[in-house]
Structure 1
């Protein structure tokens, strides 16, 4: 049984609008898992995505395989409801905004291009995908719950590796591990005061009736919520940073806050509605601009830290914890950068940012670089120094050189086996119906057989 849920949400989000238009014509139930239904349009939408990714070269049983994966997803989703696994509105809204911002970054921040591509506003697109995303998050969380306790021992890792035929051992290209110390240049006091004054002016214009809060957010706010007039959606306590949350919860519906400072900049907040302990807020965010002088000041500081590491005043790990910017992923991993494609800390040359690649190309293991400028995913100016922490030559996989990778592969295999067992067990206690036109599919015979057991009362 294949257990990967087909097509990540982001890829669905990037599908040409024509695929959705084609799929929405079809609306017929072809399967049921507990209280969850699979429509023919669900299947055809996934099939269209698979075809678009393979240039039409699909296996004859592709629809059967996709249906199997959809059934797995619905089984997990149905169980998440039975287990009262909650996906909060704030989680969904946060994920939606992150995906919208990511897509806009592909389009150079152009709202017009986004709306032309999807044929609708950003707000309408979010509404279209909101419940699909809620289901996806529930499925992912339920799967994590099922396999949460799976662990592997060193003996299991060795056994897993020993079972791989020698001629099937993977060949790893040259890889490196890279550490980083990141610094975020801070705007100077004069710039901060100017930003506060601008936001105070916006507040005064709203109170004077010269513009609505929504118009101000669309015109001035410097984050992804600007497309929705600053609306951050419904949320409970714990979503926002403490300064923002304290100010928001102290407002009455319709009331504007004063200027609130957080790590993201300066906010003007409006409480839209309140339902018990849940609130819906909007904001206008302004960020003080970092000047060349601010960047240079941070560069000099970071360069001095690099020099102290080079002369062994302290080690790289200590410098990360003592002086590094703590909002980057590497901070909690002793500065080691994570390869998002693999999930581990090893990078093939092609996986590296070009600036880092050219920086470490002539470095020896243990060397620390000069200061490098870069921008974070939000577009903020950042600085870092990097350390080359390991370098391996191309080689066949071995326990000595690749234990961490083999351990990950062992754990994934054990998780898949554990999840397969859970699915088989859960099928036996779940009502399942599959349309007869798909009952010849080899990949879903276990679903059909178990549904017959339930129907016959066995």
Structure 2
């Protein structure tokens, strides 16, 4: 959220300068077809300064410019390699970020618009291309290092190269498995939702309400604020049932009720361009009653009892009965720690409910059934299994092999990426403003004799009078 706040403030300030006919920006570097503006660098510096407890020296701009150049090099290459970021991906990310900000504000749209001085739609448009660039950069970076692998010998060599007094000290950690089930609504609740959507479709067709108004009023997802608009997208981006219905519509036609894993939809085809379509939808989700929860709770408890008496193992139960939309499903139920990317959790990293559930469990034992909320707020149930527990210790190869392997891989990927950057610097047109030539980090960007510099007075953007 701090990044978004800082960028919004900078953009609003730039807008104020523009109205006065002031020089508001300068091009300070170019990488291929990509430009870096002075404001890009100053925004980073101001944000870092606001987040630091101590003053940040002016020369910190050198490292920031170096990292920005890396990003622009990756983005330029992503275009050359035809790496695509779809409109629907960008829209999904924008909606998720806006939803996160709104959650901080208690879902108050008026507070959001008062604070930022513009509508949610305008805010999304402001960040759309920046987000598209960041997604492309991330994808390009992943593409560069995708083939990097490490062998057991490399892991051992990496560990042996760490000085004994520099070995990390690990607190007590646990590995936890989960078997998640998703409660389903009863038939009468589902039928009521279908009837409500069918009635709403009739009202839209009869002109009593527009599709966009109905989406804003009734739809259960983030697209509601934009009238249900999901943007332009190609085949393969929606779940099968939704996509089949959407591609069979004519422009401005509204589908019947379509059921997917997310709930029940009305879909409107807004436009078609070749194999791309733009659709809007209204999503309604049947409410899960306490009786529905209790039915699923009893089912999951019976599965846990079968695991306890060795009728089948935990991994089989996950694959046979588990909800396949959670991360752990594809890892035999083992949960991943989002803070570290591996499967080890310090006690402080655990959700409190999970901590108390496993606190007194023996290894491989199962908890009682726990209720929690998924990322979209839907109720889910799980049982958790304590799969390993370590005591506080200094890192060892035998006990911490997975972590050392990750560290080895990360180091090798960074080395490979650095080599790739150096090769691309030698074959890419690069300009850097002469005021940054004294930065040690910038020297590598200036080594090729074909590169030229942008003088201090070039690349200014002037608006107004």
- TM-score, normalising length: structure 1: 0.95
Distance 2:93 2:105 in 1: 19
SS in 2 for 1:429: coil
The 5 A counterparts of 1:76-91 are 76-91=74-89
From 395, 401, 417, the equivalent of 2:399 is: 401
Alignment-derived partner of residue 20 in structure 1: 11
Compute the displacement of 1:238 (Å). Answer: 0.6
Alignment-derived partner of residue 370 in structure 1: 368
SS in 2 for 1:370: coil
Alignment-derived partner of residue 281 in structure 1: 279
Alignment-derived partner of residue 459 in structure 2: none
From 427, 435, 457, the equivalent of 1:437 is: 435
**Residue-by-residue CA offset, 1:367-411 (whole Å, 9 max, x unaligned):** 100000111111111110000000011111111111000000000
**Residue-by-residue CA offset, 1:276-297 (whole Å, 9 max, x unaligned):** 1111100110000011100000
From 142, 148, 152, the equivalent of 1:144 is: 142
**Residue-by-residue CA offset, 1:222-264 (whole Å, 9 max, x unaligned):** 0000010100000111111111111111111111110111111
Distance 2:112 2:152 in 1: 49
Compute the displacement of 1:455 (Å). Answer: 4.8
Alignment-derived partner of residue 6 in structure 1: none
Quick check: 353-362 or 76-85, which moved more? 76-85
Matched, 1:385 2:376: no
**Does the CA-based 8 Å contact 1:19-1:48 persist in structure 2?**
no
Q: How many residues align?
A: 446
Alignment-derived partner of residue 306 in structure 1: 304
Structure 1 stretches of at least 4 aligned residues deviating more than 6 Å after TM superposition: none
Distance 1:399 1:317 in 2: 26
Matched, 1:178 2:180: no
Q: Alpha carbons of 1:16 and 1:447: their partners in 2 closer, same or farther (altered >3 Å)?
A: closer
Matched, 1:192 2:183: no
Alignment-derived partner of residue 327 in structure 1: 325
Alignment-derived partner of residue 461 in structure 2: none
Compute the displacement of 1:93 (Å). Answer: 1.8
Matched, 1:338 2:329: no
Larger relative contact order (C-alpha < 8 A, sep ≥ 6)? 2
- TM-score, normalising length: structure 2: 0.93
Compute the displacement of 1:60 (Å). Answer: 3.8
Compute the displacement of 1:437 (Å). Answer: 1.3
Unaligned runs of 5+ in 1: 1-9
**Does the CA-based 8 Å contact 2:6-2:43 persist in structure 1?**
no
The 5 A counterparts of 1:231-246 are 231-246=229-244
**Does the CA-based 8 Å contact 1:31-1:432 persist in structure 2?**
yes
Alignment-derived partner of residue 107 in structure 1: 105
Distance 2:320 2:116 in 1: 46
Matched, 1:205 2:203: yes
Compute the displacement of 1:23 (Å). Answer: 5.4
SS in 1 for 2:256: strand
**Residue-by-residue CA offset, 1:132-184 (whole Å, 9 max, x unaligned):** 11111111111111111110000000000011100001111111000000011
Distance 2:322 2:79 in 1: 42
**Does the CA-based 8 Å contact 1:185-1:298 persist in structure 2?**
yes
Q: Alpha carbons of 1:115 and 1:455: their partners in 2 closer, same or farther (altered >3 Å)?
A: closer
Unaligned runs of 5+ in 2: 18-23, 454-465
